[in-house]
Structure 1
Amino acid sequence: MDITELILDDHHEQRRLFAILEQIDRGETAALSAIWDRLAAFLELHAQAEEEIFYPELLQAGIAARRASGTEDETLDAIHDHNEIRDAVAEVARHQVGTDDWYAAVAAANLANSDHMAEEEREGLTDFRRLAGLARRHQLAVAFAAYEASNYAGVEPVDKDPLGYVRAAEATLRTGASGSLSVGSLKRIPPS
């Protein structure tokens, strides 16, 4: 098990759910609503899991490899993307399910999410596979899976200041103190 593979699995599921929405007749609003609600909750849970577990570790790996500026840029961009996805999901909720406006808002959410996933797959996940060993990636996969399982009912969407997020994560890494980026009952895993 590898955290980068779990993230890729989540990305596949997100793509699958968007594709399902495209194939349901617009008159089947109960089905559209059910699938969208599941997808919207999943998008937020995935983003929160990455923000709690993956991105602090990407920053730590970048610092250890003396590539902090690259991983900082990737993390800043990812947190910004997560905010855009949250905003796009909120826009969908402003429209009646099955209407042209609703479909347009879902398409905008799909685009924001697809752009983020493609960039993350090219950059953050690739860099992390290069910078972190398999044993570490396995430990983080366990924490990531447990986080998603513990929060299966969903998490509250909260936009984050990208720069503030990176600075807080780096401060936590420097001091070793537990802060807002700790994984709740899952303590920070020491580097392998």
Structure 2
Amino acid sequence: MTDITQLILDDHDGFRRQFAQLDELRDDPMQAGPIFAGLAAFLEMHASAEEEHFYPALLKKGGEEGEEETDDAIGDHDEIRDGSRRAAAAEAGSDEWWKAVDDTRAANTEHMSEEEDGALAIARRSISRAERDRLGVKFQTFKIEHPGAHGLSGEAKDPKEYIEEHS
């Protein structure tokens, strides 16, 4: 299936599984560190792919609701990136590291819930299935072109500037 909304949901399931795996590794920083590093790259690759392909389409087709959801999502992505950066700067397994991991998880969990109930539902109502499939191919291609978030800046984006640039 190449419907971008389903591909996004599939990634969300992967995030949930990887955070659950980290739950079992609280006392094993040698394993937890690399797992979170991979998860952080997956989160960045996903957010960047959404920002490149999903949210511009939602802005064009989703009306005022689409704009509100995009504004919220870009801000959420920034919170997720902030947590990932703080974890990368801390020693794996330290209290500071776990706090950053937990903050990343909380921001991501909130974002996924809002996105699943808001942006994805709006997209299914306002973007044709054929267009969602075309976007899905672009979304998958973007992720293939950026394995491990290679070549992605991970920089925060101002939601208002993003909306202005992509509207």
Q: TM-score, normalized by length of structure 2?
A: 0.94
Contact 2:44 2:81 in 1 (8 A): yes
Q: 1:92 to 1:136 in 2, by over 3 A?
A: same
1:135 corresponds to which residue? Answer: 130
1:15 corresponds to which residue? Answer: 16
1:72 corresponds to which residue? Answer: 67
CA distance in 1, matches of 2:56, 2:26: 41
1:110 corresponds to which residue? Answer: 105
Q: Deviations over 1:126-159 (max 9, x none)?
A: 0000111211111111110011011113122011
CA distance in 1, matches of 2:82, 2:98: 15
2:37 corresponds to which residue? Answer: 37
Match of 2:153 among 152, 156, 169: 156
Contact 2:38 2:148 in 1 (8 A): no
Question: What is the Cα deviation at residue 25 of structure 1?
Answer: 4.6
Is 1:83–2:84 an aligned residue pair?
no
Q: Name which structure has the greater RCO, CA cutoff 8 Å, separation 6+.
A: 2
Structure 1, unmatched stretches of 5+, are 63-67, 171-192
Q: Deviations over 1:23-70 (max 9, x none)?
A: 1252x32211110110010111100000000000011112xxxxx221
2:25 corresponds to which residue? Answer: 24
Q: Percent identity?
A: 43
Runs of 4+ displaced beyond 6 Å: none
Question: What is the Cα deviation at residue 93 of structure 1?
Answer: 2.0
Q: 1:95 to 1:71 in 2, by over 3 A?
A: same
Structure 2, unmatched stretches of 5+, are none
Task: Say which structure is richer in helix.
Answer: 2
Q: TM-score, normalized by length of structure 1?
A: 0.82
Query: What is the RMSD of the two structures over their aligned residues, measured on CA atoms?
Result: 1.1
**Aligned pairs, number:** 164
Q: Secondary structure at the match of 1:93?
A: helix
Q: Secondary structure at the match of 2:155?
A: coil
CA distance in 2, matches of 1:130, 1:69: 14
Contact 2:65 2:122 in 1 (8 A): no
CA distance in 1, matches of 2:100, 2:79: 12
Q: 1:153 to 1:105 in 2, by over 3 A?
A: closer
